[in-house]
Amino acid sequence: MVKENKKIFIHAVLFEILPGQVKKYHQDNLMWAHFARRAKGFISYQTARRLAYKNQYASVYRWKSKGHHNRFMHKYHDWLVARSKAKVKVLGYFNLKVVDVLG
């Protein structure tokens, strides 16, 4: 059965992370996810390594709505960036709206 859920919002950031920065990147991710987990509307967080591309990782957050994501980012983004230790290069931002869900 396929059910429609147009409210779920996914925010993903694709990074280039040099090998010496990966451990710090993972630690930074845990810090960000810790604060996101306490935010209203947070569903889940994942880190993924992009296959067939060297040194590329994605941080992916799922929220109940774009509004929940926006409130979190407005409150915490700059503060968390200032505390993050990994040197990263942002390759792209992706804001996605869920159209179909199976399962």
pLDDT of residue 80: 97
Q: What digits encode the pLDDT tens for the residues 37-91?
A: 999 999 999 999 999 999 999 999 999 999 999 999 999 999 999 999 999 999 9
26, 64, 28, 25: which is closest to 44 by C-alpha? 64
Q: What digits encode the pLDDT tens for the residues 23-44?
A: 999 999 999 999 999 999 999 9
The domain limits of the chain are: 9-97
Q: Which long-range contacts (CB under 8 A, 24 or more apart) does 2-6 make?
A: 2/100, 2/101, 2/102, 3/100, 3/101, 3/102, 4/99, 4/100, 4/101, 5/98, 5/101, 6/97, 6/98, 6/99
Please state which of the four CATH numbers 3.30.70.100, 3.30.43.10, 3.40.50.620, 3.40.980.10 is assigned to the domain occupying 9-97: 3.30.70.100
Instruction: Quote the pTM value.
Output: 0.87
pLDDT of residue 6: 57
